[in-house]
Each structure stands twice: as C-alpha cells, then as structure tokens.
Structure 1
Amino acid sequence: MNQRRQKKYSRRLFEAISAGDVTVVKAFLRAGADPNRTDSEGTTPLYEASVNGKAEIARLLLTAGAAPDAESSGLGAEGTPLCAAACWGHANTVRQLLTHGADPNLHEEHGTGWSPLRWATEGSHSETADLLIAAGATPR
C-alpha cells in the first residue's frame, strides 16, 4: 500500500477509535491500516483506545498486530497502553491488553516512570490492581 493511502487510513482509523466506532475500525484494519502507525504527535492507535477504555477496539488492534507494549510519545499521550488503561481504571481494556501479552511490570517513560500497578493503586482502582497482580505485577 502506498504511503499516501496508509496515511489516510491511519487518520481515519484514529477518527474511528475516538468515535468508538468498532465497525469502521474493523473495516480500516481489514483494508490494511497499520495498527502500529502513530499519529503526527507519536500516539499509537492502541494507546488512544486504551486511555479511553475502548476494550473492544483495543482487542481488534491487538488481533491485527498492534504491539501491546509500544510506548506513545504524543503530547499529553505519553506512556504505554497498559499504564494508560490502568491509570483510568479501565478494567476490561486492561484484561484485553494482558490477554494479548502486555507486560504487567513494564514501567512507562522507557522504564523510568510508573508501572501499571502504581497507576492503578494511586488512582484507587482496586479491580484493575487485582487484575495486574493476578497477571504477575509486582510493586516496585
């Protein structure tokens, strides 16, 4: 697929993720949208879905090959998908990420920031913290 089309698909994929439109996300992934292509600021599609608690869309992106531990660098959207979901207590999204291989002990900011478990406990999201602990997350 040429660069121009891939860029167009990527932009529309982000629009569909923001709108929570599962049908359109499926269509663009089937058409060849890259689930790992960042937006112009460096945000990954999976981060966008995770921070907003869109578990079904996160599952679709992961199934299409999105890297579960890819860190975003977008302005106001820095970090890993699992940290983003844990921060806001999006338990169903956390489940999807863990099921698809996200590392429950991976600290964001390239290993120097908070872990998903710390985000969950600092935000008083006990269900999310329990899921992370069950997946092997350790406090550190």
Structure 2
Amino acid sequence: MSEAPQTSPTRVDEDELELARRLFDAARHGQTGLLGTFLRRGVSPDLQNTGGDTFLTLAAYHRRPETVAMLLEFGADPALANDRGQLPLVCAVFKQDAQSARLLLAAGADPDAGTPTARETAQMTGSAELLALLDGAAGEPR
C-alpha cells in the first residue's frame, strides 16, 4: 500500500485575505452587485470562512433575499452547513425571513436537515407562517 503524496496547505497572502473578508462582508450587508462581480470572475459561490459560513449562510442570516437569490443563480449550495451544523435555511427561518426561506426551499433546501433543523427553529420561534411554508415544502417533489 503506497502512501498518499504529501501536500502543503495553500497559503494566501494578505491581499487575498482582505478580499475574502470584503466578500463575506458584502454577503452580510447585501452588496449583491459587488459580490456578483467577483462570482462572475471565478470566485466560488460556496467559499467558506473560518467558521464554515458560506456567502449564502451569511446572506440568509442577515435577511438579504436579493443576495440569496443571486447566490442561488450562481449555483451556491443550500446544503452546505457551517461548523456548527447550521444551514442557510435555518438562518433564514431563525431571522423570520420568509422571502429567503422560499428561495432556499425552491433551490432544494431540506427543512429537516441541519442542527437544529429549519422546522425545529420555526417551532422554537413560534412562526406559524414559516412552519406552514416548511410544511408545504415537505409535500412538494424536489
């Protein structure tokens, strides 16, 4: 049995780190145009920060449905969890953002995935609107 070749971790310089910080901030603040410019230039829509948050997770958590929609158009994966097991749909539900939740469900987000799940989060927050939305999604084919 041969050993796998050893590779060294990829190091990024300070300019690249600063750009990444700016892009994650753009997702948080709903700077959809700025983020879209870099996605068109090849930045991955599924880039994760040191906590595992993707642009989609941050946009959903900060109630930025326009940014959520754009990221989904670029192929962002709604099933990527952060280091705490939280998914973008859970973030949208926690923040009572039905518009982002609808977009994520339409993109295939599972209301029963994650820790906690979006359904558990809706029950915890007592949102009848979001519970109904999640219940409706469970019966729709994906």
Which range, TM-score by smaller chain?
0.7 to 0.9
Aligned match of 2:97 in 90, 93, 114? 90
Matched ranges for 1:1-140 at <5 A:
9-73=19-83, 78-106=85-113, 108=114, 113-136=115-138
Provide the aligned length of Structure 1 versus Structure 2.
127
TM-score of the superposed pair, with normalisation by structure 2: 0.79
CA distance in 2, matches of 1:80, 1:19: 19
CA distance in 2, matches of 1:124, 1:21: 30
Structure 2: 5+ residue stretches without partners? 1-11
Deviation of 1:40 (Å) = 2.3
Mapped contact 2:90–2:118 kept (Cα < 8 A): yes
SS of match in other structure, 1:103: coil
CA distance in 1, matches of 2:19, 2:46: 12
Structure 1: 5+ residue stretches without partners? none
2:61 aligned partner, one-letter code: V
Mapped contact 2:39–2:45 kept (Cα < 8 A): yes
Deviation of 1:39 (Å) = 1.1
Mapped contact 1:88–1:120 kept (Cα < 8 A): no
1:104-139 deviation digits (Å, cap 9, x = unpaired): 221x2xxxx3221110121022211111111017xx
TM-score of the superposed pair, with normalisation by structure 1: 0.80
CA distance in 2, matches of 1:33, 1:72: 19
Identical aligned pairs, as a percentage?
A: 29
SS of match in other structure, 2:138: coil
2:26 aligned partner, one-letter code: A
Mapped contact 1:6–1:33 kept (Cα < 8 A): no
Mapped contact 2:63–2:97 kept (Cα < 8 A): yes
SS of match in other structure, 1:127: helix
User: Which has the higher mean CA deviation after the structures are superposed, 96-105 or 9-18?
Assistant: 9-18
